[in-house]
Amino acid sequence: MAHASHAAAPADTPVTTRHGVCNLCEAICGLTFQVQGNRIVSVKGNEADPLSRGHICPKAVALKDLHEDPDRLRQPIRRVTVDGETRWEPISWDQAFDLVVDGLARVREAHGSSAVGVYQGNPNVHNWGNITHGHLFLSQLKTRARFSATSADQLPHHVVAHALYGHQLAIPIPDIDHTRFMLILGGNPLASNGSLMTVPDVRARFKALKARGGKLVVVDPRRTETAAIADEHLFIDPGTDAAWLLALIHTLFDEGLAKPGALQPILDQIDAVRAAVEPFSPEAMAAHTGIDAATTRRLARELAHADGGVVYGRMGVSTQPHGVVCQWAIQVLNLLTGNVDRIGGAMLTQPALNLIDLKLMGPGHLGAWRSRVRGAPEFSGELPVSVMAEEMLTPGKGQIRALVTAAGNPVLSTPNGRQLDQALAGLDFMVSIDFYLNETTRHADVILPPTCFVEHDHYDLVFLHLAVRNVSRYSPAIVERGPDTRHDWEIYAELARRYAQRTWALERGRMRERLQGMLVRGIVGRLAPHRLLALGLKRSGSGLTFERLKAHPEGIDLGPLQPSLVNRLQRRKRRIALLPDLIRLELPFLAQAFPSHAAGTAASATQAERPALKLIGRRDVRTNNSWMHNSERLVSGKPRCTLWMHPDDASRRGLTDGQTVAVSSRVGQIAVPLHVTADIRPGVVSLPHGWGHDRPGIALQVAQAHAGASINDLTDDRLTERISANAAFSAVPVSVAAG
């Protein structure tokens, strides 16, 4: 079905140039579009962009494919079942809004507000309208059953930022442009383009690091693209990073290298940390991690002696059983070597619209309540996704019976996706705000499709806080939106208005508060995100106005990162307690999990005839989680959903490169082609996530032809990070046999 919104323009329509950004990943590259009428002619990197400097990856061009994709929904649809067969029927927006509000309100009336769950996926953070207007509707649901992709990703970073620096978003960002020593664990920015470190053009930045005499070290169970260009790569045993990081801290104390410098006056509990890491000597940890003690000690020295050094850890050390301890240890290493709030170390950013300082985002809280079935803690109002399916499948008061999904595909992205698939099929009502009929939204009763990225304007409310350079950038829409379409923010505003009317009688609270709520929703609901941005900038004291931003769509450079953390903490009369209770109470457990005398463990593992393999994830530059596989240019070529395995493990099992293998875990089994390579540690296997488009009932023609299999049919909802219950995707035990 061709669509009028991108139909070829008459030949004499002039081609114009527009500046925008790519919102697909955290690198937020600046783009230059050539547009003829409403058709995108070309997409290129914008050389004038102060952050990305012309860099793009292949996905930027796929924004055009997304815009033109015949499978992209442009009108609401409802699921109807006739004679046991499912059909999707186009409906008007008016009808769709009424159906949704009614479906959700009925469940709430019958079963209470927490019977309506919410799952917000990753693009919510990449699409500012969801941030400015999502809460108008979602907060009204008054549910404790809120989930998001955060707990399949970076939750440990927020827990640690909150515990150490007093705010969930106070995450010091590596000063990659000035550092002289960078140690990366569990991150592969050459493929991912950086995360919790917005760093477009990362390859050039690493090159510059080396050119100024700096050193790059990568710790990863796989020889990644980043490891391949590093000065040093260490293969670590998955899930043991906490032990190794504690050994580095141990070395700092052992060798008199703990010198916090300018931070000393606001640091407490240094001696308590010294005592707590005593059992974790590099010598004792070597058997667990696979990294020898001499190397560990040398790297601790190199970090301590660097003229600006930084440790950075991402996905791989966040989504594992000790993710919070890993992220804590990384901060402690940077703090004890005087590298937090220092040029060449890690610093808090200073974006023009600062959500922390303007108090537009709360500091966060952990464990204010717990999940019904398993007792997993909430963080900042959200429960971990690992418990979402069991909250739907376990009967009783508080069982989730309806769900709102917004910009998420949890069937492919959360652990034990098959179980969630079944749980979604049993819901009383489900609505998805999404422009694809995919593995998750196929379970919805109604799908509300928003406009796609090039059809609306954009300001990066979140990622400018995480960027390696302070910049500011507002991008107007690149093309006109299609007829009778809605932006995400408009969908939220309308749902908020209608839901408030429908559930007025259910609302608790005094009349005055209820009226106030109505008023706020009414006013904000009518203000487009750019009007809120203009107001926010006025309040920010940054001196930057919306008019000036609009005049510079290529972006405004606000300069390199500068130390500000100590001042900002002191203004709030806050010190840094190095050993928060949640870590203090956890470290004895780590001492048990990684005992000093590990010889017995190692021996018994080698004795086992066929030891379980440890499964880890993988990203490659042409993917974007689960949802860009419908672009031919991103899926063409050799299949990329393959299982990587070391030659020793393959020959032990009699397996050969290219054959199909069956991979099994506690929760399921999948079949994938095998790729035998020495670029992975023996005992470890790796699969990418986001594939598995062979489920029936989806409408993604290109993706279906390149289906692959979902790693999350193997990952286990019961394997979670011990403090936050973040999904533990790393080191999942699996077995592999000929398929």
Site of interaction with ligand SF4 (CB under 6 A):
22, 24-25, 27-29, 56-57, 59-60, 193, 200
Main-chain dihedrals φ then ψ at residue 30, nearest 5 degrees: -75, 135
Q: Which does 200 bind (CB under 5 to 8 A by kind): Mo ion, ligand SF4, ligand MGD, none?
A: ligand SF4
88 pairs with which residues across the strands?
Answer: 79
Q: Which does 29 bind (CB under 5 to 8 A by kind): ligand SF4, ligand MGD, Mo ion, none?
A: ligand SF4
Q: Which does 338 bind (CB under 5 to 8 A by kind): ligand SF4, Mo ion, ligand MGD, none?
A: none
By beta-carbon proximity to ligand SF4, the closer residue of 191 and 500 is: 191
Buried b (16+ CB within 10 A) or exposed e, 656-669: eeeeebebebebbe
From 149-157, 370-378, 385-393, 709-717, give the range in contact with Mo ion by CB under 5 A: 149-157
Give which of 200, 181, 180, 178 is closest to 190, Cα–Cα: 200
Q: How far is Cα 677 from Cα 682, in angstroms, rounded to an integer? A: 10
In the complex, minimum distance from the CB of residue 397 to ligand MGD, in angstroms, rounded to a whole number: 28
By beta-carbon proximity to ligand MGD, the closer residue of 472 and 625 is: 625
| 41-48 own/partner pairs: CB under 8 Å, 24+ apart | 41/15, 46/19, 46/554, 48/554, 48/555
Interaction between residue 26 and Mo ion (CB under 5 A): no
Q: Which does 435 bind (CB under 5 to 8 A by kind): ligand MGD, ligand SF4, Mo ion, none?
A: ligand MGD
Q: Which does 690 bind (CB under 5 to 8 A by kind): Mo ion, ligand MGD, ligand SF4, none?
A: ligand MGD
By beta-carbon proximity to Mo ion, the closer residue of 153 and 390 is: 153
CB 285 within 8 A of CB 244: yes
By beta-carbon proximity to ligand SF4, the closer residue of 60 and 230 is: 60
By beta-carbon proximity to ligand SF4, the closer residue of 29 and 616 is: 29
By beta-carbon proximity to Mo ion, the closer residue of 333 and 462 is: 462
Tokens of 23: 């919102």
In the complex, minimum distance from the CB of residue 56 to ligand MGD, in angstroms, rounded to a whole number: 12
Give which of 324, 353, 251 is closest to 294, Cα–Cα: 251
By beta-carbon proximity to ligand MGD, the closer residue of 143 and 623 is: 623
By beta-carbon proximity to ligand MGD, the closer residue of 224 and 665 is: 224
Q: What is the number of other CB atoms lying within 10 angstroms of the CB of residue 562? A: 14
SS in 3 state form for 494-508?
Answer: HHHHHHHHHCHHHCC
Going from the C-alpha of 260 to that of each of 280, 331, 555, 581, the distances in angstroms are 21, 12, 36, 21
Angle, helices 488-502 vs 128-138, to 10°: value is 10
In the complex, minimum distance from the CB of residue 59 to ligand SF4, in angstroms, rounded to a whole number: 4
Q: Which does 132 bind (CB under 5 to 8 A by kind): Mo ion, ligand MGD, ligand SF4, none?
A: none
CB 719 within 8 A of CB 379: no
Name the residue type at position 420: L
**Residue spans of beta strands (DSSP E) within 515-610:** 556-560, 576-577
Kindly state the number of chain residues that form the binding site for Mo ion, as judged by CB under 5 A: 1
In the complex, minimum distance from the CB of residue 83 to ligand SF4, in angstroms, rounded to a whole number: 44
In the complex, minimum distance from the CB of residue 166 to ligand MGD, in angstroms, rounded to a whole number: 24
Q: Which does 152 bind (CB under 5 to 8 A by kind): ligand SF4, ligand MGD, Mo ion, none?
A: ligand MGD
In the complex, minimum distance from the CB of residue 46 to ligand SF4, in angstroms, rounded to a whole number: 11
By beta-carbon proximity to ligand MGD, the closer residue of 260 and 617 is: 617
Q: Which does 28 bind (CB under 5 to 8 A by kind): Mo ion, ligand SF4, ligand MGD, none?
A: ligand SF4
In the complex, minimum distance from the CB of residue 329 to ligand MGD, in angstroms, rounded to a whole number: 12
Q: Which does 333 bind (CB under 5 to 8 A by kind): Mo ion, ligand SF4, ligand MGD, none?
A: none
Going from the C-alpha of 582 to that of each of 111, 336, 339, 548, 727, the distances in angstroms are 35, 19, 23, 45, 18
Sequence-distant (6+) residues with CB within 8 A of 604 are: none
Q: Which does 217 bind (CB under 5 to 8 A by kind): ligand MGD, ligand SF4, Mo ion, none?
A: none
By beta-carbon proximity to ligand MGD, the closer residue of 29 and 236 is: 236
DSSP 76: -
Residue at token pair 């693209």: 225
In the complex, minimum distance from the CB of residue 25 to ligand SF4, in angstroms, rounded to a whole number: 3
Tokens of 473: 């950038």
In the complex, minimum distance from the CB of residue 713 to ligand SF4, in angstroms, rounded to a whole number: 26
CB 643 within 8 A of CB 617: no
In the complex, minimum distance from the CB of residue 31 to ligand SF4, in angstroms, rounded to a whole number: 7
SS3 34: strand
Helix (H) or strand (E) run with residue 32 in it: strand 30-36
Q: Which does 56 bind (CB under 5 to 8 A by kind): Mo ion, ligand MGD, ligand SF4, none?
A: ligand SF4
Main-chain dihedrals φ then ψ at residue 75, nearest 5 degrees: -150, 145
What residues make contact with ligand MGD under the rule CB under 6 A? 25-26, 121-123, 127, 149, 152-153, 185-189, 191-193, 195, 219-222, 224, 236, 238-239, 241, 314-317, 320, 406-410, 413, 433-436, 438, 450, 488, 616-617, 619, 621, 623-627, 689-690, 711-712, 715, 729-731
Give which of 181, 184, 176 is closest to 51, Cα–Cα: 176
In the complex, minimum distance from the CB of residue 437 to ligand MGD, in angstroms, rounded to a whole number: 9
**Residue spans of beta strands (DSSP E) within 48-197:** 77-82, 85-90, 116-120, 146-148, 173-174, 181-185
CB 415 within 8 A of CB 729: yes
By beta-carbon proximity to ligand SF4, the closer residue of 26 and 382 is: 26
In the complex, minimum distance from the CB of residue 727 to Mo ion, in angstroms, rounded to a whole number: 11
By beta-carbon proximity to Mo ion, the closer residue of 153 and 488 is: 153
By beta-carbon proximity to ligand MGD, the closer residue of 537 and 719 is: 719
In the complex, minimum distance from the CB of residue 504 to ligand MGD, in angstroms, rounded to a whole number: 27
**Residue spans of beta strands (DSSP E) within 142-259:** 146-148, 173-174, 181-185, 215-219, 232-234
Tokens of 448: 């509300």
Helix then strand count (H, E) for the chain reads 28, 30
By beta-carbon proximity to ligand MGD, the closer residue of 50 and 313 is: 313
In the complex, minimum distance from the CB of residue 262 to ligand MGD, in angstroms, rounded to a whole number: 29
Distance of CA 198 to the CA centre of its chain: 12
Q: How far is Cα 31 from Cα 22, in angstroms, rounded to an integer? A: 7
By beta-carbon proximity to ligand SF4, the closer residue of 33 and 499 is: 33
Interaction between residue 153 and Mo ion (CB under 5 A): yes
Interaction between residue 49 and Mo ion (CB under 5 A): no
CB 445 within 8 A of CB 431: yes
Q: How far is Cα 121 from Cα 126, in angstroms, rounded to an integer? A: 10
SS3 597: coil
Name the residue type at position 288: H
In the complex, minimum distance from the CB of residue 330 to Mo ion, in angstroms, rounded to a whole number: 18
Q: What is the contact surface with Mo ion in residues (CB under 5 A)?
A: 153
